[in-house]
Amino acid sequence: MSQPLQALEQTTLQFGFIPLTDCAPLVIAKERGYFEAEGLNVSLSRETSWAAIRDKVGLGLLDGAQMLASMPLASRLGVCGPQLDFISALVLDLNGNAITLNNALYQEMYDIDPRVESNPLIATQTLKSVVDQGRRNHRQKLRFGIVYPCSTQSFELRYWLAAGGIHPDEDIELVVIPPPKMVEAMREGNIQGFCVGEPWNTLAVQQQLGHVVANKYQLWNNSPEKVFAVTEQWAEQNPNTHQAILRALLKACAWLDQSQNRQAAARLISQAAYIALPEETVALSMTGHCLKHWDKPAENLDDFHVFHRYSANFPWLSHPEWIVSQMYRWGQLKETINIEQVINQVYKPALYRQAAESLGMDSPRIDRKSEGNIDEKMLMPQSQQLGANRFLTGEIIPVGGIIPYLKNQNLSTANIPALTLANSERLAGGGQ
Amino acid sequence: MKLLLIGISEEKISKLQDALSTAGLDLVSFNGQQDSLYPLIEQQRPEIILIDTSSTARDTLEHLAQLDRNHARTVISLGRNSESINRLAAETGLSLYAVDSVAVSLLQALTDVVISQLISRDKLAREVASMRPVLAQQRDLHSAIKFIMEKYGLADTQARDLLAKNAKHQKRGIADVARHLMETGSLP
């Protein structure tokens, strides 16, 4: 063990996770002894809902947890739940979600345009025509599942629907179903589509229940998915323990990102104590394969799960800016806030840099980056620091440009003049 | 006032039922699928919900609260105090949801009753059960000493001494010997 133990304030810890492929950093840090090497005795508690994770961390029944990237921010704002002061200094993974539609709906779309098979933009436009036809015929609204109202999955599904001109709240009925129940709900015909993290899309396709029409990478390349979060109070009381946790998780993420370790990772996380599904199901996306259609071989998608490369673990402040923009777009957040101020309270690049530096890992020197301006074709294959960041509909958000971006989004309910006023001084200088 | 119970075991409900009904709450129990929770909440519009902390329906409740501000939402503290809610989750495994208009004092009283029905009552029963053998031993010992005193005309300390010596000789506990004496009428 190379790291000197710096007076850990707390050594016995319990973290919560949800049975999803991206619980892997927590599981690997435990199973491969990275927590132990930091002097931490960590137990992992499998939770059944995001609300349980949120409340248990908030009440101190759990010391920390895997959370949706949007959750610490939503909780800070009291959006979709009680006001709780979480912070996050580490992103656990990028990408990893997909949108799956059931066979009947997919077939109806395929009959209109077979290119729905591989093109998410054509798929949403085709779905729009199905939705319009349904309205004319007085058919019941389509019902799609998401995992939590203020989830990355909710924003991704909404983004994809809106890209085709479909209003997610008026044209579709969105219902919340926890990830492990999603496939069952589709099998029973309760929902016609869903947006969820892996391995639940792969499972639905393997069971021949539906087809994947878009994955998160296609919607916004290398966008953040889960974070490791604790309460602000806990972080203040346990700074050394917090750093030790971040170091262990960083080592786990670096190990996970090596392709030769992915099969072993899939074996570990598929166990009964974690995801409790067959290794073959978990291994597909974990080894860089996107199974979109049950009658076709899986496609290669090396970046289906990104755990470390492209500075993945760094809490970029430009990422939560997009999340805030979507909360405004869909009317979840109505209060006018100073976006930069709130984001600075929640996401902690400085704490990340401290942990990375003590491991000799390089960290980004800036806190924000432009989004949507880098296509994968522009990058050298070996690029590790920088990843593609394209949006499905091609928009670009320069640093400091989140409000003009929001202004240009369709179907938005945001009060742009009020937001511009509240954010003018801070963001006029282009952030940092 | 309607109280919806979601994903709560029969055993727990039977312990809660009387106390909550007596207080004037209308209890409705639900153990179905997430999607049928949407119409149920719309129709019943419960003011308060108690749900198993690890129920898979929790995120659906969060969604309902987000869709309509008049639906019950998560209660994570009572006043500035999260102690009761903490005990409710940690000890009884339940989470509380309520509409905004329900007074904090009512929720506090409800939480107290739930904790008392599910935890305090069981705790008292466990304590009583664990005391029972100790008390029985003391009763046997007392009776045995009295028996020896009367039969052999001995003083209290002498009778106690006799029992202790006998127990040591037999390599048995004094309470054990006392029980034997009371059951058979003679020392072992």
Q: Do A176 and B63 touch (CB under 8 A)?
A: yes
> How many CA atoms within 13 Å lie on the side-chain side of A237?
8
Whether A230 is covered by a domain: the verdict is no
Mean local confidence (pLDDT), B119-125: 87
Whether A333 is covered by a domain: the verdict is no
Amino acid identity of A345? Answer: Q
Whether A126 is covered by a domain: the verdict is yes
Please give the mean pLDDT across all residues of chain B: 92
How close, in Å, is residue A233 to chain B by CA atoms?
15
Q: What is the pLDDT of residues B40-77, one digit of tens each?
A: 999 999 999 999 999 999 999 999 999 999 999 999 99
The answer, yes or no, to whether residue A424 has pLDDT greater than 90, is no
Domains of chain B (ranges plus CATH)?
2-102 (3.40.190), 131-184 (1.10.10)
Residue A308: per-residue pLDDT? 97
Q: Do B34 and A181 touch (CB under 8 A)?
A: yes
Number of A/B CB contacts below 8 angstroms equals 96
Nearest residue on chain A to B66, alpha-carbon basis? A80
Residue B186: per-residue pLDDT? 81
Sign of CA dihedral A42, A45, A50, A51: negative
Nearest residue on chain A to B55, alpha-carbon basis? A48
Q: CA-to-CA distance for A112 and A130, rounded, in angstroms?
A: 9
Which band of pLDDT confidence, cut at 50, 70 and 90, is reported for residue B188? confident
Which band of pLDDT confidence, cut at 50, 70 and 90, is reported for residue A425? low
CB atoms within 10 A of CB A42: 20
The answer, yes or no, to whether residue A431 has pLDDT greater than 70, is no
The answer, yes or no, to whether residue A160 has pLDDT greater than 60, is yes
Whether the CB of A50 is below 8 Å from some CB of chain B: the reply is yes
Which band of pLDDT confidence, cut at 50, 70 and 90, is reported for residue A382? low
The answer, yes or no, to whether residue B98 has pLDDT greater than 80, is yes
Range of the domain at A165: 97-219
Angle at A108 between CA A106 and CA A110, to 5 degrees: 65
The answer, yes or no, to whether residue B118 has pLDDT greater than 70, is yes
Whether A113 is covered by a domain: the verdict is yes
CB contacts, 8 Å: A47 with chain B: 54
Whether A53 is covered by a domain: the verdict is no
Residue A216: per-residue pLDDT? 98
Whether A388 is covered by a domain: the verdict is no
Whether A331 is covered by a domain: the verdict is no
Number of structural domains (chain A) is 1
The CATH number of the domain where A202 resides is what?
A: 3.40.190.10
Q: CA-to-CA distance for A76 and A92, rounded, in angstroms?
A: 20
Whether the CB of A178 is below 8 Å from some CB of chain B: the reply is yes
